[in-house]
Structure 1
Amino acid sequence: MPVTDSLAKACGLLAAALGLGLALQAIYSAYFGVWEPWFHRSLVVGISVAVVTLTTSLVSRHKPKRRLVAACLIAIDVAIIAVVTLALERLFNAYEHVDDIMLAYSAYDLTVSLLAVLAIFELSRRLFGWPLFLFSLLILVYCLYGDHFPWIFRHSGFSLEQTMQILWFGLQGVFGMPTGVVLQIIFIFIVFGVLLEQSGAGAALIRIAFFLTGRSRGGPAQAAVVASALFGTMSGSVVANVVGTGSFTIPMVKKRGFSGPFAGGVESAASAGGQFVPPVMGAAAFVMADLTGYSYLSICIAALVPALLFYLSLALSVGLEARRLGIRPTPAEDLVTPNRRDWLNGLMVAGPIAAIIIVLTMGRTAAMAGFWATVTVLVLAFLINPDFRRKPGRVLGMLAAGGRTGATIVIAVAGIGVVLGVLNLTGFGLKFASLISVIGEGNLFLSLLLTMLACLALGMGMPTLPAYLIIVLVMGPAIRNLGVPVLALHMFVLYFGVLSAITPPVALAAFAAAPIAGANPFTTALVAAQLSVAGFIIPFVFVYEPDLLLILDFDLANFVWVMVRFGAALWLTATAFAGFERLSLAPWSRIGRLLCAALILPGFIPVSLAACGLGALIVAYDMLLRQKFAPRETLASGSAAHGKRN
């Protein structure tokens, strides 16, 4: 066995052992509470650094053939772990004096702490690519040299000692609020999600989804929509959702006659939507409850209708594409029929979700709900899955996997903690808020549009929770000044943070789906964004019409009016983008439908009613008059031609 392979195996075993320790501390903390913040946060960050370094070691990633190159790569990884360990030792040493405003740090303290912060940036690059790394590095440079920046970016500048006192030796940087929230609430749900996924529930959900949608025109494409919605209850990452369900659904979608970009696009869009679906919502629901002051159950209720509308729109788009291509329902002999084991494995999803709801309605903490959900899935796995009874040691491997997954989130939020520390130190968040207020003064729509663009930019390349956190922390002062209910704005931020995963040019979900679909990543991203057009509209709707969230001054009559308007706009928009209804739509019809949808949504009753009437006339013309006078053979050949061109 080559030396690099032996080393990779040893690194994997050590990472598994450390991951197991992280998972066990998450379970302990969920039940008994977190330890002393300084010690707990620093210890978990240190172990997470070791885990991520081992699992993303440069030797295993690059597999160099020359021993000298391999030795250099190993030295870099060892240096990362060593410098973080030394920096933590200096942190522990200064702990008793950390509140002393006269405390001075030596050059050695500042050097190792700075290198530790840079090491965390490097690990975030390995995990999530260059966007988060470059953004974090720019923020650090901005803190140190802000006196040389132009315009609103200028500040007085801070010394290295002032900077590291906040970012490393204080509770406003690496070990600040984001890290604390992860340890208090999120880590246990990450462990729960991995246990649920590896217990056999994931495969069962996919088979059940195919069974439920098999007789529809979209067939496997609709199954991808349903499976991704269900899988979203387990996964806190759009990309993980794509890989988890897409490897099975995308080939079947293509087999039914859909194009590669469409197969990858529908999986990417559906996987993104899984992060909006209660009760887990990519673990962002628990953080949102903490930040907004609303209860967790209120967050879930508020998220329900928008999530259903998103998936209704996606299912409609899939059905229109299937009709356009002339794709028939799946033949009976090809239908996937779940067996008894699949239905039993489905209980491993229903049971923990029920446990979460019961514990929360009893008034206990979200962490306690995560603890009992984890216990429930383990008990059900042993009762239902005979593999667990034969090999109970599998649980240790699953816990280790949960710990390793949690470590990646810890690294991400540690880097975000640096961003938060710099924003607090420099006051840039308030300046940015003032800029948006000035640009969008008196115009809520323009302010929301600017906020949307900022969310799409800041969320690029990150899982749901880190994306939501970094956007809320950067945009917080700005969105609070918009005069809109805080819950609606946090939901607004969550939606666009998630949708950044399918928005070109950095659309990680589409880039993950494209190789499976054998398609161009950029084309796949464009298809995913087109299929998710409702997701770009829904946040604006519930900001202007909070009744859609059910818990903000709910009025039934207005809710019905909003749903009628949105339903009409949804149909017009979906058919316009698809270019098809019962037959191909003329360009004037597509443009007219989009204009009518745009006029329906704002809610001015005379304008909305007039737009609804005009939209109905366009639909009636396309569905009745054109079909009546068009030769039947032309319609049939047109449908076939579309299929061939695709």
Structure 2
Amino acid sequence: MPATKQGAAGTGLSPALWRPVADTLAFLVTLTAICWALSVPRYLGLGFYPQQFFAAILALVLPIAFLTLPARRHEAREFVPWHDALLALVSFAAVAFIAVGYPQFVLQIFSRPVEVWLPGIIIVVLVLEALRRATGWALVIIICAFLLYALFGNLIPGRLQGRPQNWQLLSGYMALDSNGILGLPMSVASTVVVAFILFGTLLGITGGSRFFTDAAMIGMGRFRGGSMKIAVLASALFGSISGSAVANVVGTGVVTIPMIKRDGYPGHKAAAIEAVASTGGQLMPPVMGASAFLMAEFLAVPYSSIVMAALVPALLYYVALFIQADLEAAKMGILPLPKSEIPEGRIVARGIHFALAFAVLIYLLFWQHYQPERAALWSAVVLIVTSLAIGYRGQRPTLRQIFDSMSGTGHSVVEIILISAASGLVIGVLNVTGLSFNLTYSLVQIGGGSAIVLLALSAIVCIVLGMGLPTLGVYVLLAALVAPALIQVGIDPIGAHLYVLYFGMMSMITPPIALAAFAAASIAKSPAMATGWAAMKFGWLAYIIPFLFVFSPTLLLIGAPVDIAIAIATAIVGVWLVSAALAGYFVARLSPVLRTLFAMCGLLALVPAGAFSGAVFTDVIGVIGGIVLMASEIMRNRRDPAPAEG
């Protein structure tokens, strides 16, 4: 008989029983993904549909969710209630049944046999329940609205009226079709995301995460506002791999936020800059977040194309953060970190082997054109070998830790797998009902064919839809609902998808539901809303630059090299001027009039010359006016130096 115990939640499975089961399933998730990425079935002469592999991953993930996630979120779990154990068993059986019989069942979807629609209903319901436990109600409610539309779309008046679907057909379609649960989002999450999460987990156990924080301290700790700059740099490096703004805040913020506060920054500003830096990590090449890999699949372009397009906007994003960190430090009189807190260069230099793993990753991705998951796995092998041979600060991973990292990776990807599976439901509804075309047409009609009106409307839709949702779920929704309308009015497809990704992610730092900002506020023990508003101020460029790169692809590295260079140079000048205006400080405090002039010249300089006819003149006016303003402030401060605020 299994071990049981009476507790607050009633009789259930004891930790001695359910935890090994969950860990084993998590290990199998990672192992299965690795075997598929390395084409092990093909070498063994076995043939499978990709959807059978996705179903196998889901069959392992759903039981983990029901074993580890309590019905009430944030509730401690020790004993697993019998009903959750039953849900874990039923979910495994239903999805495994689909996985095994997929070659026959996929041909019978439209004939609606009970062996197709009954498991389909079970899988859809259990995916939504597991998603609710992992992420809350917001995404579940949105997906349920889509499913109701699929069933009763004929009752919607006007252009958005849809074709009603038979419930038996719909359940089978969602569970088996490549446009449903087992579709493109699951493809990316089950391969690319698992591989990169494994890489990130290995960085943690080998000391790589500590190395990057130490390197950031050496690089930035000797400058004023060094703690803020360390947070920006460390979060950019870690967030690129983590794929989650909130996970990045929690992972790096526990170190950086207390450091920033200790230097004298207010708690809400310390939390805000960490939240903004963590959010931007998912926009930062070479790895970026999981959404970037999905974007490459949506657009059917090489991942390297996405990286190159995202490079300049991401760099400008962090340039703006660095400048604001520096100006805030100057205004408040924040000194560099004490020398005692900065690690010795010769010690940190011993961790340079971690850079080799990233060099291998970049080489395989961009020169050898490996699939992202394969490149990540080979980089992980290099990381393990060099860490075992060299180590860092006396830290070498044990074989047990490496083995356990497989299980840890499986647990880490549960939420992303669930979001991806649920996102397939949205894509399925859009395809089967024709809502995708209808919504695109309606947005274009509302915008009156005007690109600027449609962009403004889309930005609002993106931020509203993104509130309370994880990044991957936000992007899938926006890529399906909003991006086609932008492409319809002539915007470059990569620009359109980056546009919705930027504004979808800005929901992470935009009140009233700013998940990344609120997570940082909880660490800093600062007011949540004050942190959210400060995060919006620090992340101001992310609200502007998407408009710029859709009108002028030079910021996406599309165009003549000279035009690209000029656009980047003027944008940097503009970023500096607007950041100074927002901080109210350049080399000394700025009066309200000067702040207004700095902001006006900065915004004019930000506009790329190719954005519209005559934009070259706005560039010239902004840059010349900005240079004059900065020069006059420098000269005035030399004549009459003003002490920094303490």
TM-score, normalized by length of structure 1? 0.89
Q: Which amino acid aligns with 1:427?
A: G
Question: Residues 133-144 of structure 1: matches in 2 within 5 Å?
Answer: 133-144=140-151
Deviation at 1:202, TM superposition (A): 0.5
* 2:52 matched residue in structure 1: 39
Q: Is the 8 A contact 1:83 1:116 kept in 2?
A: no
**Whole-Å separation in 2 of the counterparts to 1:143 and 1:368:** 38
**Whole-Å separation in 1 of the counterparts to 2:174 and 2:375:** 32
Q: Does 1:559 align with 2:572?
A: no
Counterpart among 326, 331, 343 of residue 324 in structure 1 = 331
Deviation at 1:39, TM superposition (A): 2.1
* 1:205 matched residue in structure 2: 212
- Seen in structure 2, the aligned counterparts of structure 1 residues 412 and 320 have a Cα distance that, compared at 3 Å, is same
**Whole-Å separation in 2 of the counterparts to 1:390 and 1:119:** 37
How far does the alpha carbon of each residue in 1:280-318 deviate from its partner, in whole angstroms, 9 at most, with x for none? 101333333333233223332332222221111100001
The DSSP-based 3-state class of the residue aligned with 1:98 is helix
**Whole-Å separation in 1 of the counterparts to 2:384 and 2:423:** 32
How far does the alpha carbon of each residue in 1:92-122 deviate from its partner, in whole angstroms, 9 at most, with x for none? 557514324652233x864553343122122
Counterpart among 180, 189, 193 of residue 186 in structure 1 = 193
**Higher RCO, Cα 8 Å, sep 6+:** 1
Q: Is the 8 A contact 2:496 2:550 kept in 1?
A: yes
Counterpart among 344, 347, 368 of residue 353 in structure 2 = 347
**Whole-Å separation in 2 of the counterparts to 1:488 and 1:218:** 34
TM-score, normalized by length of structure 2? 0.89
Q: Does 1:28 align with 2:35?
A: yes
Counterpart among 501, 511, 514 of residue 508 in structure 2 = 501
Q: Output the aligned Cα RMSD.
A: 2.8
Q: Which amino acid aligns with 1:201?
A: G
* 1:250 matched residue in structure 2: 257
* 2:588 matched residue in structure 1: 583
* 2:70 matched residue in structure 1: 57
Show structure 1 runs of 5+ residues with no match. none
How far does the alpha carbon of each residue in 1:468-516 deviate from its partner, in whole angstroms, 9 at most, with x for none? 3332122242132131222222222332233222222221111111111
**Whole-Å separation in 1 of the counterparts to 2:72 and 2:545:** 45
How far does the alpha carbon of each residue in 1:403-458 deviate from its partner, in whole angstroms, 9 at most, with x for none? 11223211110000001111112222222211221232342222222222222233
**Whole-Å separation in 1 of the counterparts to 2:639 and 2:196:** 59
- Seen in structure 2, the aligned counterparts of structure 1 residues 468 and 116 have a Cα distance that, compared at 3 Å, is same
Q: Does 1:304 align with 2:311?
A: yes
* 1:114 matched residue in structure 2: 121
Question: Residues 515-530 of structure 1: matches in 2 within 5 Å?
Answer: 515-530=522-537
Q: Is the 8 A contact 1:250 1:263 kept in 2?
A: yes
Which range is displaced more, 461-470 or 555-564? 461-470
* 2:387 matched residue in structure 1: 381
* 2:44 matched residue in structure 1: none
Which range is displaced more, 502-511 or 54-63? 54-63
Question: Residues 445-464 of structure 1: matches in 2 within 5 Å?
Answer: 445-464=452-471
Counterpart among 224, 235, 246 of residue 217 in structure 1 = 224
* 2:378 matched residue in structure 1: 372
Q: Is the 8 A contact 2:206 2:396 kept in 1?
A: no
The DSSP-based 3-state class of the residue aligned with 1:168 is helix
Q: Which amino acid aligns with 1:396?
A: F
- Seen in structure 2, the aligned counterparts of structure 1 residues 63 and 609 have a Cα distance that, compared at 3 Å, is closer
- Seen in structure 2, the aligned counterparts of structure 1 residues 131 and 102 have a Cα distance that, compared at 3 Å, is closer
- Seen in structure 2, the aligned counterparts of structure 1 residues 37 and 351 have a Cα distance that, compared at 3 Å, is closer
Q: Does 1:231 align with 2:238?
A: yes
The DSSP-based 3-state class of the residue aligned with 2:30 is helix
- Seen in structure 2, the aligned counterparts of structure 1 residues 622 and 362 have a Cα distance that, compared at 3 Å, is closer
* 1:145 matched residue in structure 2: 152
Q: Is the 8 A contact 2:62 2:92 kept in 1?
A: no
**Whole-Å separation in 2 of the counterparts to 1:323 and 1:381:** 40
Q: Does 1:570 align with 2:581?
A: no
- Seen in structure 2, the aligned counterparts of structure 1 residues 153 and 2 have a Cα distance that, compared at 3 Å, is same
**Whole-Å separation in 2 of the counterparts to 1:390 and 1:547:** 45
Q: Report the count of equivalent residues.
A: 625
Deviation at 1:192, TM superposition (A): 1.9
Q: Which amino acid aligns with 1:212?
A: G
* 2:412 matched residue in structure 1: 405
* 2:45 matched residue in structure 1: none
Counterpart among 605, 629, 638 of residue 616 in structure 2 = 605
Q: Which amino acid aligns with 1:103?
A: S
Q: Which amino acid aligns with 1:157?
A: P
Q: Which amino acid aligns with 1:289?
A: A
Q: Is the 8 A contact 1:317 1:575 kept in 2?
A: yes
Counterpart among 397, 400, 425 of residue 393 in structure 1 = 400
Counterpart among 575, 596, 600 of residue 595 in structure 1 = 600
Deviation at 1:209, TM superposition (A): 0.6
Q: Does 1:169 align with 2:176?
A: yes
Show structure 2 runs of 5+ residues with no match. 42-47, 610-614
Which range is displaced more, 559-568 or 590-599? 590-599
Deviation at 1:90, TM superposition (A): 5.7
**Whole-Å separation in 1 of the counterparts to 2:28 and 2:480:** 30
Percent sequence identity is 30
Deviation at 1:138, TM superposition (A): 1.8
The DSSP-based 3-state class of the residue aligned with 2:432 is helix
Counterpart among 138, 148, 162 of residue 131 in structure 1 = 138
Counterpart among 484, 494, 519 of residue 491 in structure 2 = 484
The DSSP-based 3-state class of the residue aligned with 2:490 is coil
* 2:481 matched residue in structure 1: 474
